[in-house]
Amino acid sequence: MTHRIAILGASGYAGGELIRLVDSHPDLESSYLGAHRKAGSTLGNVHPQLGGGDRSLGSLDPDEIPDVDLAFLALPHGASAAPAVELLDRGIRVVDLGSDFRLDTVARYVAAYDAPHPYPEELGTWAYGLPELFSDQIIGIDRVAAPGCYPTSALLALAPLYAAGVISAEGIIVDSMSGVSGAGRGAKENLMFGAVDEGVAAYGILGHRHQPEMEQGLGAVGATEPQIIFTPHLVPMQRGILSTCYASLTGDLSRNDVLAVLNAAYANAPFVDVIDQSPQTRWVVGTNRALLTAHVDPRTGRVVVLAAIDNLLKGAAGQAVQCANLMLGIDEAAGLPTAGWMP
Amino acid sequence: MTHRIAILGASGYAGGELIRLVDSHPDLESSYLGAHRKAGSTLGNVHPQLGGGDRSLGSLDPDEIPDVDLAFLALPHGASAAPAVELLDRGIRVVDLGSDFRLDTVARYVAAYDAPHPYPEELGTWAYGLPELFSDQIIGIDRVAAPGCYPTSALLALAPLYAAGVISAEGIIVDSMSGVSGAGRGAKENLMFGAVDEGVAAYGILGHRHQPEMEQGLGAVGATEPQIIFTPHLVPMQRGILSTCYASLTGDLSRNDVLAVLNAAYANAPFVDVIDQSPQTRWVVGTNRALLTAHVDPRTGRVVVLAAIDNLLKGAAGQAVQCANLMLGIDEAAGLPTAGWMP
Amino acid sequence: MTHRIAILGASGYAGGELIRLVDSHPDLESSYLGAHRKAGSTLGNVHPQLGGGDRSLGSLDPDEIPDVDLAFLALPHGASAAPAVELLDRGIRVVDLGSDFRLDTVARYVAAYDAPHPYPEELGTWAYGLPELFSDQIIGIDRVAAPGCYPTSALLALAPLYAAGVISAEGIIVDSMSGVSGAGRGAKENLMFGAVDEGVAAYGILGHRHQPEMEQGLGAVGATEPQIIFTPHLVPMQRGILSTCYASLTGDLSRNDVLAVLNAAYANAPFVDVIDQSPQTRWVVGTNRALLTAHVDPRTGRVVVLAAIDNLLKGAAGQAVQCANLMLGIDEAAGLPTAGWMP
Amino acid sequence: MTHRIAILGASGYAGGELIRLVDSHPDLESSYLGAHRKAGSTLGNVHPQLGGGDRSLGSLDPDEIPDVDLAFLALPHGASAAPAVELLDRGIRVVDLGSDFRLDTVARYVAAYDAPHPYPEELGTWAYGLPELFSDQIIGIDRVAAPGCYPTSALLALAPLYAAGVISAEGIIVDSMSGVSGAGRGAKENLMFGAVDEGVAAYGILGHRHQPEMEQGLGAVGATEPQIIFTPHLVPMQRGILSTCYASLTGDLSRNDVLAVLNAAYANAPFVDVIDQSPQTRWVVGTNRALLTAHVDPRTGRVVVLAAIDNLLKGAAGQAVQCANLMLGIDEAAGLPTAGWMP
Q: Taking residues C99-116, what's their average pLDDT? A: 94
**Do D312 and D14 contact (CB within 8 A), yes or no?**
yes
Q: Which residues of B touch A198 (CB under 8 A)?
A: 197-198
C237/A197 touch (CB, cutoff 8 Å), yes or no: yes
Distance CA A9, CA A16 (A): 9
pLDDT category at A330 given cuts 50, 70, 90 is very high
For residue B342, pLDDT beyond 90: no
Q: Which residues of D touch B196 (CB under 8 A)?
A: 193
For residue A122, pLDDT beyond 90: yes
**Do C324 and C268 contact (CB within 8 A), yes or no?**
no
**Do B229 and C304 contact (CB within 8 A), yes or no?**
yes
pLDDT category at B232 given cuts 50, 70, 90 is very high
**Do C201 and C229 contact (CB within 8 A), yes or no?**
no
For residue C121, pLDDT beyond 80: yes
Closest by Cβ to C229, choosing from B206, B300, B343:
B300
pLDDT digits (tens, 9 = 90+) for C230-242: 999 999 999 999 9
Distance CA D261, CA D241 (A): 23
pLDDT digits (tens, 9 = 90+) for A203-261: 999 999 999 999 999 999 999 999 999 999 999 999 999 999 999 999 999 999 999 99
pLDDT digits (tens, 9 = 90+) for D21-34: 999 999 999 999 99
Closest by Cβ to D20, choosing from C277, C285, C339:
C339
Instruction: Give catalytic residues of C, as residue numbers.
Output: 149
| Phi (first) and psi of residue D282, to 5 degrees | -60, -25
Neighbours of chain C (3+ CB pairs under 8 A): A, B, D
- Whole-prediction pTM value? 0.97
Shortest CA gap A193–chain C (Å): 4
Chain B residue with Cα closest to D237: B197
Quick one: pLDDT at residue C62? Answer: 87
**Do B104 and B212 contact (CB within 8 A), yes or no?**
no
Quick one: pLDDT at residue D18? Answer: 98
pLDDT category at A333 given cuts 50, 70, 90 is very high
Cβ neighbours around C4 below 10 Å, total: 16
pLDDT category at C54 given cuts 50, 70, 90 is confident
Q: Report the mean per-residue pLDDT for chain D.
A: 96
- Chains A, B: CB pairs < 8 Å: 80
Closest by Cβ to C287, choosing from D51, D180, D284:
D51
Shortest CA gap D119–chain A (Å): 29
Residue of A37, A191, A192, A341 best to disrupt the C interface, most CBs of C under 10 A: A192
Q: Taking residues A109-124, what's their average pLDDT? A: 93
Quick one: pLDDT at residue D78? Answer: 92
pLDDT category at B103 given cuts 50, 70, 90 is very high
Q: Which residues of C touch B200 (CB under 8 A)?
A: 177, 235, 237, 240, 242, 280-281
pLDDT category at A309 given cuts 50, 70, 90 is very high
Q: Which residues of A touch B24 (CB under 8 A)?
A: 339
Q: Tell me which DSSP letter residue C111 carries.
A: H
Q: Taking residues C191-206, what's their average pLDDT? A: 97
For residue B62, pLDDT beyond 90: no
* List of E strands, C125-266: 127-128, 143-145, 172-178, 201-202, 228-234, 241-248
Burial A140-154 (b: 16+ CB within 10 A, else e): ebbbbbbbbbbbbbb
Q: Taking residues B266-279, what's their average pLDDT? A: 97
Q: Which residues of A touch C342 (CB under 8 A)?
A: none
Shortest CA gap A17–chain C (Å): 14
For residue C1, pLDDT beyond 90: no
> In terms of Cα–Cα distance, which of D21, D37, D29 is closest to D2?
D29
Closest by Cβ to D200, choosing from A197, A240, A302:
A240
Contact of C235 with chain A, judged by CB distance below 8 Å, is answered with no
**Do A48 and A16 contact (CB within 8 A), yes or no?**
no
pLDDT digits (tens, 9 = 90+) for D251-276: 999 999 999 999 999 999 999 999 99
For residue B343, pLDDT beyond 90: no
ipTM: 0.97
Distance CA B183, CA C190 (A): 28
Phi-psi region of C91 (alpha: psi -120 to 50; beta: other; left: phi over 0): left
Neighbours of chain D (3+ CB pairs under 8 A): A, B, C
Q: Which residues of A touch D233 (CB under 8 A)?
A: 177, 242, 244
Q: Report the mean per-residue pLDDT for chain C.
A: 96
Shortest CA gap A166–chain D (Å): 18
> In terms of Cα–Cα distance, which of A288, A334, A342, A322 is closest to A72?
A322
| Phi (first) and psi of residue A93, to 5 degrees | -65, 150
Q: Tell me which DSSP letter residue D250 carries.
A: S
D185/B192 touch (CB, cutoff 8 Å), yes or no: yes
Quick one: pLDDT at residue A37? Answer: 92
Quick one: pLDDT at residue D154? Answer: 98
Q: Which residues of B touch D48 (CB under 8 A)?
A: none
Contact of C271 with chain D, judged by CB distance below 8 Å, is answered with no
Peptide bond into B343 cis (omega under 30): yes
D48/C341 touch (CB, cutoff 8 Å), yes or no: no
For residue D53, pLDDT beyond 80: no
Q: Tell me which DSSP letter residue A100 carries.
A: T
Q: In what order do the strands lie in the sheet with A241-248?
A: A201-202, A228-234, A172-178, A241-248, A302-309, A290-297, A272-274
Chain B residue with Cα closest to C174: B175
H/E stretch holding C44: helix C43-46
Looking from the CA of B9 toward its CB, the CA atoms found within 13 Å total 27
Listing DSSP states for A292-311 in one string gives EEEEEETTTTEEEEEEEE-T
DSSP H helical segments within D34-163, as ranges?
43-46, 81-89, 106-113, 131-138, 149-163
For residue A52, pLDDT beyond 80: no
D198/B236 touch (CB, cutoff 8 Å), yes or no: no
Quick one: pLDDT at residue C53? Answer: 72
B51/A23 touch (CB, cutoff 8 Å), yes or no: no
Q: Which residues of C touch D16 (CB under 8 A)?
A: 341-342
Quick one: pLDDT at residue B93? Answer: 98
Q: Taking residues B64-75, what's their average pLDDT? A: 97
- Those residues whose C-beta lies under 8 Å from the C-beta of residue C157, and which sit 6 or more positions away, are C243, C245, C292, C294, C305, C306, C307
Quick one: pLDDT at residue A62? Answer: 87
Quick one: pLDDT at residue A54? Answer: 85
Q: Which residues of B touch A341 (CB under 8 A)?
A: 16-17, 20, 49, 286, 312
CA dihedral of C157, C161, C162, C164, whole degrees rounded to 10: 150
Contact of A301 with chain D, judged by CB distance below 8 Å, is answered with no
Shortest CA gap A169–chain D (Å): 11
What number of helices (H) and strands (E) belong to chain A? 10, 13
Contact of C168 with chain B, judged by CB distance below 8 Å, is answered with no
Listing DSSP states for D80-111 in one string gives SHHHHHHHHHTT-EEEE-SSTTTS-SHHHHHH
Q: In what order do the strands lie in the sheet with C290-297?
A: C201-202, C228-234, C172-178, C241-248, C302-309, C290-297, C272-274
For residue A175, pLDDT beyond 90: yes
Q: Taking residues B109-136, what's their average pLDDT? A: 95
Cβ neighbours around B90 below 10 Å, total: 11
Distance CA C200, CA B235 (A): 8
Contact of C189 with chain A, judged by CB distance below 8 Å, is answered with yes
Q: Taking residues C89-99, what's their average pLDDT? A: 97
Q: In what order do the strands lie in the sheet with D143-145?
A: D28-34, D3-8, D70-73, D93-96, D143-145, D127-128
Neighbours of chain B (3+ CB pairs under 8 A): A, C, D
pLDDT digits (tens, 9 = 90+) for D63-83: 999 999 999 999 999 999 999
Q: Taking residues A30-35, what's their average pLDDT? A: 97
Shortest CA gap A52–chain B (Å): 8
- Chains C, D: CB pairs < 8 Å: 80
Q: Is D220 helix (H, G, I), strand (E, B) or coil?
A: helix
Quick one: pLDDT at residue D144? Answer: 98
* List of E strands, A141-203: 143-145, 172-178, 201-202
Quick one: pLDDT at residue D100? Answer: 96
CA D37, D39, D44, D49 torsion: positive or negative?
positive
D193/B198 touch (CB, cutoff 8 Å), yes or no: no
For residue C334, pLDDT beyond 80: yes
Quick one: pLDDT at residue B52? Answer: 76
CA C260 vs CA C102, C153, C163: distances in Å: 30, 19, 14
> In terms of Cα–Cα distance, which of A165, B216, D197, A271 is closest to C236?
D197
